[in-house]
Structure 1
């Protein structure tokens, strides 16, 4: 019988939740066959069989949390599909039971008699030593009582025959602690009742266990707020120039590159340009050091049914508009289909999140730690805008928000970063010229 264990997944992943078993007890598997899908805090991965044979035993069910190295199933290398392995395991269990039953009954009976006579002798000797015929205690109990300064007459025996044993003495010694515990019990009950009042409902509710990814998202968002001096600054962008450029070039762009020209490539290029001017927003804190990153791996927040993931567009400064759009599309599809790999989620230097796709008008995005900056995009709304010549025009406007870690980024720098993004978006031809 061979064991199947949770394999080493990655340096940063030590546990996961079994999402689905792909095989069942009695199924035949070959070495390397996928047997289950494991949900981690970042991606879903398949666990493969280490040995060929028949699944003899499934030790963990779907929904169970497991750690690297845990045994999750057993494979019978000599078993046959259809339950032979189960039969063989049952036979081995029956054999063990029969062996246990075949032990001589006389030996058990003799052992019981010896134990009983030994206890009787201890009791008789304790009577003689104690000088009090009405108190029956074992020598060990008398010795312990003397050490603790307790009166045997005040100790209650749990033995049906009234014999005081060492554990009775220990219980008596803990009497004061027990009283304290009893006094504290009502307080604990009150606290429990108060807690239950918050969680119990008179009307129907549905309780659903949080997925591994959702638990991690919750934990990381709270940690980001607790471990950083997070602040958000806002600005608004006139999207007229970008929308005009897209309208003029979108058909030609799609024919040439087989991908639509969206807004995200413009903002990605604008962010890279602004990060070059304000490098502290492309940094992170490690201990008492500031690590300034000389690369531009931009995370793109993608919403999925199981929660938010942030795949990374690598070397965004070296990609053209088409390359960025293709990377974003590829990563978004993989995220939705749960096909992202760990290396596609790690190592980003700055993040962009677009709540405008869901209609958000304004928000304060939370940092994607250990990054120190995140740009939030919002819905485009037509608004009356006062122009430089004092005329009023209706323009497509978008609010943008920059959340940053005030520990290393000052307000002046954060505001100027956001202004630079605004300038590049309102004059996108600069982005085209810069590549």
Structure 2
């Protein structure tokens, strides 16, 4: 019987939730076939069978949390489809057979001329132990080890074909007990933490609907709270006149789409402007590790994307080396992957700065939360016509956008944050200069 275990996923991911079994007990599976979908903190991944045969047992059910290395299924490499029910009977018979043979052998052994004195003494000792300890056969070292660990020998499974318990079997059982105790302790802690919640349940006199948070939603919640608790987060604001960008976009959008087969959006302008501003203010493109500041010399820009399962932040790599078409293609590709649940772990890791656009949902103003361990995030908002006083003191209705920069005040001073945002404003209000500077 081949055990299928949760494989290594990524350095930062050690557990997940079984979202859905793609096969059922008794199905024929081939090595490499996808057998279940595992929901992790970041993306959903498929777990493949690492052996061919009949799926004899589903050890864990859909909705259960599992860790890397946990056994989730068993495959009978010699089985036939539909024969899983008979397999148990056969295995029981085969187990019973050796026991009968073992008893017959033990009865015949005293008269066997080939047995040495050492074998006879060992057999006698085992027989005494067997008779005095409820038919449990164990070596003296195993018995001593079990006493030290406070384990009952009758609860320990022997790997020895003859059923003799050895010290390594005792250690394995002890380790299993520890894991069992840890798993039992976890719900107790959750129960304590949810006492207040359970008391609140009785307060509802009218109908309510409760549903368990998905693993991804739980992770998002935890990361957002951690970001606020582990950083000195502050937000500064400015407003941008979008007149020139909208004019340029209107002039070039048809030729741009015809040439590059992608629409010219606002995100490519802000990405280019952000990269330019990050080069001038490198601490906003940094992170803190212990008592060190790591200044990143690359510009991998995370783009917050909303999906049905929650917010994800895929990364557009080397945005400083991409032209407008390259950035737009990168954003479109990542957004499509996110909505089709095709993002890989590599797509979400290693960003140096993040841009989030709440304006597409109509947000007028917000304070974005840092995407730790990054120390800066740029928030974009809705474009609304507002009265603006022009240099000649005339008042005009102009398309305006509020922009926000949340930053970690531990390494980014207010002066740099304000100047960073002002530099983005200048580049967006003069997009021709932004195009020339590349």
TM band (smaller chain): 0.7 to 0.9
Q: Residues 97, 366 of structure 1: CA spacing in aligned structure 2 closer, same or farther, 3 A cutoff?
A: farther
5 Å-filtered alignment, 1:192-211, equals: 196-200=198-202, 201-211=204-214
Q: Residues 407, 5 of structure 1: CA spacing in aligned structure 2 closer, same or farther, 3 A cutoff?
A: same
**Of 378, 382, 385, which residue of structure 1 is paired with 2:381?**
378
Distance 2:65 2:435 in 1: 50
Look up the SS of the partner of 2:25 in the other structure: coil
**Of 271, 275, 283, which residue of structure 2 is paired with 1:280?**
283
What residue in structure 2 maps to residue 421 of structure 1? 424
With normalisation by structure 2, the TM-score equals: 0.77
Q: Give the deviation of 1:90 after TM superposition.
A: 4.1
What residue in structure 1 maps to residue 118 of structure 2? none
With normalisation by structure 1, the TM-score equals: 0.77
Distance 1:93 1:217 in 2: 48
Look up the SS of the partner of 1:332 in the other structure: helix
5 Å-filtered alignment, 1:29-108, equals: 29-81=29-81, 83-93=82-92
- Structure 2 residue 227 is the aligned partner of structure 1 residue 224: yes
What residue in structure 1 maps to residue 306 of structure 2? 303
Distance 2:357 2:224 in 1: 17
Distance 2:287 2:67 in 1: 30
Distance 1:21 1:291 in 2: 42
Structure of greater Rg: 1
- Structure 2 residue 242 is the aligned partner of structure 1 residue 239: yes
Look up the SS of the partner of 1:370 in the other structure: coil
**Of 339, 346, 349, which residue of structure 1 is paired with 2:349?**
346
Q: Give the deviation of 1:434 after TM superposition.
A: 1.1
Q: Residues 238, 341 of structure 1: CA spacing in aligned structure 2 closer, same or farther, 3 A cutoff?
A: same
5 Å-filtered alignment, 1:391-430, equals: 391-430=394-433
Q: Deviations over 1:375-402 (max 9, x none)?
A: 0000001111111111010101100000
Distance 2:302 2:24 in 1: 39
Q: Give the deviation of 1:95 after TM superposition.
A: 6.9
Distance 1:194 1:66 in 2: 27
Q: Residues 232, 84 of structure 1: CA spacing in aligned structure 2 closer, same or farther, 3 A cutoff?
A: same
Q: Give the deviation of 1:194 after TM superposition.
A: 6.0
What residue in structure 1 maps to residue 149 of structure 2? none
Q: Deviations over 1:15-45 (max 9, x none)?
A: 0011111110010011111111111101111
Q: Deviations over 1:116-141 (max 9, x none)?
A: xxxxxxxxxxxxxxxxxxxxxxxxxx
User: Structure 2 unaligned runs (5+)?
Assistant: 104-131, 134-192
Q: Give the deviation of 1:86 after TM superposition.
A: 2.7
What residue in structure 1 maps to residue 363 of structure 2? 360
Distance 2:358 2:196 in 1: 38
Distance 1:335 1:393 in 2: 40
Q: Give the deviation of 1:207 after TM superposition.
A: 1.6
Q: Deviations over 1:288-325 (max 9, x none)?
A: 11110011000000000000000001010000000000
Q: Give the deviation of 1:193 after TM superposition.
A: 7.7
Distance 1:91 1:372 in 2: 62
Q: Residues 91, 311 of structure 1: CA spacing in aligned structure 2 closer, same or farther, 3 A cutoff?
A: same
Distance 1:36 1:70 in 2: 14
The number of residue pairs the alignment matches comes to 354
- Alignment RMSD: 2.5
Q: Give the deviation of 1:267 after TM superposition.
A: 0.2
Distance 1:410 1:219 in 2: 27
5 Å-filtered alignment, 1:107-126, equals: none
Q: Give the deviation of 1:204 after TM superposition.
A: 1.8
- Structure 2 residue 293 is the aligned partner of structure 1 residue 290: yes
Q: Residues 44, 192 of structure 1: CA spacing in aligned structure 2 closer, same or farther, 3 A cutoff?
A: closer
Q: Give the deviation of 1:197 after TM superposition.
A: 3.0
Distance 2:293 2:88 in 1: 59
Distance 1:195 1:253 in 2: 54
What residue in structure 1 maps to residue 274 of structure 2? 271
Q: Deviations over 1:156-200 (max 9, x none)?
A: xxxxxxxxxxxxxxxxxxxxxxxxxxxxxxxxxxx9986533233
Q: Give the deviation of 1:96 after TM superposition.
A: 6.0
